[in-house]
Structure 1
Amino acid sequence: MIIAAEREETYEKVYKVWKDNTGRELLSILWNESSGQCARVFEEPGIQKGELNKETLNKEKLNTDELKNTALKVVNFFKNNKKVTGVAAGVICLLIIIGFVLGRGKSFDFANYVNLESSINGHGRCDGNIDYEQFAEDIMKDSKIQEKVQEYFKNYPLAEAYEEDDYEYLLEDKLESNLDVTVDIKKGTQGELKNGDKVKLTLVCNNKKFFQKMGIHFSPSSKTITIKGLKDAETIDYFDGMTLEDLGLQGVAPYGKVSSEVSNTLPDNKTISMTCSPSEGLSNGDKVTVTIDSDSNNEDVAYVPKSKSKTFTVKGLEEYVIKLEQIDKDIMDSIVKQAQDAAMSYAAQNSDYGTVELTPIGTYLLTAKEEIDGGYYNKVIVVFKAKSTIAGKQIENYSYISFTDAKMVDGKAVVDLGEYHSPYESSLFSTEGGEGYDIVIGDSTYWAKGFKSIEELFNQKVETDVEAHNVEASEGLYKR
């Protein structure tokens, strides 16, 4: 039976319905019962008029579920196109089904291969990432598709080196380079998805011809899935066992330091990165807050933090002396005695000098305005009024002794008395050199140790450092 030519417009409508609903080209055949041949074909690439006969068509195996869905679409079409005659409707329906059978390959639900980026309920994330390896493995289980894939890639460069598993890898590469998934969160929040939330996944295929040629179809092209199977996370303390030592606490207050970045290990040996703030300029009693890095959300383990940060109180740091009042009388007495011993030792080793008498009149304390690299953090300068005898003549001037980096230990100031500077040169002591001035006695000129005035001592030993240091002077001592 051949349908009259005036029905051609109807065939075109059927063709459009088929293509809109399936995304595939329709092979529509008008069957001639008497000749057993195709009388007319809506052309599709690779299939020419008259190539098919009843024997070929009868060998095709029908998928009943897909056939039913297709038939329903055809019925809906005819409900909306009442001008089509009963005979025409039957023939067209038959031909659509035949085209469906011949053009159909195997369908795969892409959504089954979209992975969630977390296994934790309430912390799920769906970025549309496909498990291409598993997808390719499952597709290649179909022997017909496997044959087509191997045939397609047989002329691939170095094809002779590829075994069956290698062809699976090549298909995986095709999937990865041509399939993408867009994600629309219908219910829930990205990164905080929980069981019961809904996500719409839409497949974007950039090379439909290849997959059609392989007999691979993706159905449906979009799908709304309900999140399920996420495990409830165990809440644990991410900071368990962490101490100040783990933060790398070091240095001397007020310039203590901790590491800016630290880590801790969870029960499953997963390492969690954290940041410390502040990490510099620390003193005892200061607070350091350790915070879990925002990009260290631990999605692939079943734990969530009890808290995202923890605050530690700095303690146990040595401290630099920053106030004169921290130096008690016992320490000051030992400093004065060291200065007197240094002066007397110098006088005893120089025949021009007689005795040297030092009377303390005050103390300067210099403290660094900020951390110094390679310099000193503080300097204690004890000032003396000095009386000495040079060639039998009594001389009065001003002298000093200084110590650097005095610290507080267990609440008391500690000064290294073995490391100091003074005007008195001696191979027995570490000195700054021989500060002093010429003095004429009779016909001879001598070098008097010290400074003529307290102002000169201040100018040379204190004021030269005020740019980088704060200065504190004891009561009554000269200060500009």
Structure 2
Amino acid sequence: QPQAVQPQPQPAQPSKPLNIPWKLVGIIGGIAAAVIIAVVVVVSIISNRKVPVTFDEYVTFECEGYDGFGTATAFFDKESFIEDYSDKIKVSREGNKYIKEMYGDRYKEVVENMNPAEEFARALYGEIDKTDQISNGDTITWVWKIDDEEDLRAYFKVEFELNDVEHKVSELDEIGTFDAFEGLELTFEGTAPNGTARIENQKSDGIFDYLSYNILNREGLKNGDEVTVEVTNTWTSDRDELSNSLAQKFGEVPAEWEKTFTVEGLPYYIETVAEIPEDTMTAMQKQMSDYMDSKVARDWDSEVSTLEGMTYIGSYLLIPKESGDKNYLYLVYKMDAWNDSDGYVSYYIYIEFNNLRMVDGLCDVDLNDYSITSNYIEFGGDYYYYGFKNLDEVFSKCVTENLEYYTYDSTVEDVETSSATPTEAEEEE
């Protein structure tokens, strides 16, 4: 059976060329180039964009202790900072250049194993401006201490401001106070104005075991003076340091650091004649009377000389100008006598005592420790007397000669005596 004749395939017809105007081709080419340039620019901008970095939220303050004596610390939380910025902080072109210069052939290895945020954080550190003696209401400031800030800005794609970080304290506990002078007593010893003070009955339990005391003016004391005692410690004289130590250990500090005590009960040397008790004055006058009775009985011949009378007319009291432990008391008498050569005569004599002092309200004086003037006088006859012709001579001897070193108090007043004068005796004859 005859085969069917297959039709011969037709040769492919060439496609017709697109009839695009050359002007349109130029426009399309320009747009494509612009897109490529824009993409490159955008990529360049993105790759060089600096990441804004802040630090304040990573600075933590910790304050503890008691108001006025607290302690403060602060730290920069690098771990949290690195965690938050690990995918954000990148090394800059300048930074990569620096790494290449530093590590050479190891550059790729270093870059692959480096966390830019961690390297950036290594340079961040600071400190606070106050660490102790902190009070509620204080403002503590974290101050950044970065020496290579310019390098950080150059080597990393970051932008930042290094501002100080402030914290206002409010979390400290209130401090307690106690009476540091509880049970403390002072004993005053010696004789005014040279008394001394000594501490008695100092407590030593608990917080008091950490205290000692210092008497600021312990010597040269007289009654009525004020003595100041201050709280201190054997291992420090710094009050702030001691306060801080007590606050940390006990939560308390002294309510007062100093206390004044009034000096009282000291024996004291008499400074005015009026201070001498009457019984003491009577005893000294009796000593003078006993002396004269003995003197006349022993040395005077009653046939030719007699003591007609003796009258106490007052005293001179010498008080040392500088601190001293003595005073001198001169009891002055007007003496009336008679002798067969001069007739009736009047003269003055003194008896001197020293170291008169008041002890517990009583006057202490050694009645056996006295002296009588050794000056003697004559009235033109055959006899002489121990004494002075007038009060001016007595004053000169007792007072004037000692004014360089002593002040004085005087109650001396001359008196008219009842003894007959020489003129009166002659008239009677």
TM-score (ref. length: structure 1): 0.50
Counterpart in 2 of 1:235?
Answer: 177
Change in CA separation of 1:102 and 1:224 when aligned onto 2, cut-off 3 Å: closer
Q: Answer yes or no: is 1:267 the counterpart of 2:206.
A: yes
Aligned partners of 2:140 and 2:215: how far apart in 1? 34
CA distance in 1, matches of 2:388, 2:229: 53
Structure of greater Rg: 2
How far apart are 1:13 and its partner, in Å? 7.9
The CA deviation at 1:400 is: 0.5
Q: Is 1:406 matched up with 2:356? A: yes
Indicate the percent of aligned positions where both proteins have the same amino acid: 21
- Give the conservation status (yes or no) of the 8 Å contact 1:401–1:421: yes
For residues 313 and 190 of structure 2, the distance between their equivalents in structure 1, rounded to whole angstroms, comes to 30
| Cα drift, residue 270 of structure 1 | 2.1
For residue 379 of structure 1, report the CA deviation from its aligned partner.
2.6
Kindly indicate whether the alpha-carbon contact (under 8 Å) linking 2:265 and 2:360 is maintained by their aligned counterparts in 1: no
The corresponding residue for 1:129 is none
How far apart are the structure 1 equivalents of 2:210 and 2:175?
15
Distance (whole Å) between structure 2 residues aligned to residue 390 and residue 352 of structure 1: 9
User: 1:313 Cα shift?
Assistant: 3.5
Name the amino acid aligned to 1:435: N
Structure 2, unpaired ranges of 5+? 1-38, 57-77, 79-88, 151-161, 417-429
How far is 1:239 from its partner?
Answer: 0.9
Contact 1:40 1:49 in 2 (8 A): no
- CA RMSD in angstroms comes to 5.1
Residue pair 1:352, 1:391 contacting (<8 A) in 2 also = no
Q: Answer whether contact 1:28 1:41 (CA < 8 A) is retained.
A: yes
Partner of 1:457: 394
Asked if 2 retains the 8 angstrom alpha-carbon contact of 1:379 and 1:403, the reply is yes
Query: Size of the alignment, in residue pairs?
Result: 319
CA distance in 1, matches of 2:144, 2:408: 69
The equivalent residue for 1:296 is 239
Q: Distance in 1 between matches of 2:185 and 2:415?
A: 46
Counterpart secondary structure, 1:322: coil
Structure ranking higher on relative contact order (CA contacts 8 Å, 6+ apart)? 2
Q: 1:420 maps to what in 2?
A: 370
TM-superposition CA deviations, 1:254-284 (whole Å, max 9, x none): 6655589xx9878332235556579756325
Q: Which amino acid aligns with 1:58?
A: E
In structure 1, the gaps of 5 or more residues are: 31-38, 63-96, 118-124, 127-192, 210-219, 424-433
Residues 1:199 and 2:140 are matched in the alignment: yes
The equivalent position to 1:473 in structure 2, one of 406, 411, 427, is 411
336, 351, 364: which one aligns with 2:315: 364
Equivalence map 1:289-368=2 (5 Å): 290=229, 296-297=239-240, 298-301=243-246, 302-343=251-292, 359-366=310-317, 368=319
2:329 corresponds to which residue?
Answer: 380
| 8 Å contact from structure 1 (residues 277, 289) kept in 2 | yes
Aligned to 2:112: 58
What TM-score do the two structures reach when normalised by structure 2? 0.55
Task: State the shift of 1:451 in Å.
Answer: 0.7
Alpha-carbon separation, structure 2, partners of 1:11 and 1:339: 121
Query: Which of residues 26, 47, 52 in structure 1 aligns to 2:102?
Result: 47
